[in-house]
Amino acid sequence: MSKPKTSRPDFSKNAGIDNATIAIYGCDNFVIDNIDMTNSAGMLIGYGVVKGKYLSIPQNFKLNAIRLDNRQVAYKLRGIQISSGNAPSFVAITNVRMTRATLETA
């Protein structure tokens, strides 16, 4: 699979959904690996509602080899925002490099 060239913060900004380059809602047991983002709206991993159906909070996942560089953007962008599962679930975050971005967990 080729890397997207149009995953900019202004892409689909009028769609009425939360802006993110990568958005994962209600998924379990997954890996996000080897992602390189520049001037990006970042990642949103959490729970939500799609077409009126509640999607549970993600659990049991790993982020690895993630690079996010927002040095060339004049305004604030999301870095990586994670809402994750319950006590027995896990989230592993390894080899993440971010410039002018934040990691938020809940």
- Domain membership of residue 12 (yes or no) is no
The lowest-confidence range among 15-19, 37-41, 73-77 is: 15-19
* Radius of gyration from C-alpha coordinates of the chain: 14
Q: What percent of the chain is modeled with pLDDT above 70? A: 84
Domain count, the chain: 1
Q: For residue 3, is it within any domain?
A: no
Q: Cβ neighbours of residue 15 under 8 Å, at least 6 residues apart?
A: none
In a domain, 33, yes or no: yes
15 assigned to some structural domain: no
Q: Rounded CA gap, 1 and 83, in Å?
A: 27
- The C-alpha atoms of residue 57 and residue 26 are separated, in whole angstroms, by 5
Q: Is 4 within the bounds of a domain?
A: no
Q: Round to whole Å and give the CA distance between 25 and 27.
A: 6
Higher-pLDDT residue of 90, 18: 90
pLDDT in tens, 47-88: 888 888 888 899 999 999 999 999 998 888 889 999 998 888
The pLDDT-based confidence of 17 (bands split at 50, 70, 90) is low
Which amino acid, residue 50?
V
Expressed as residue numbers, the domain containing 100 is 22-105
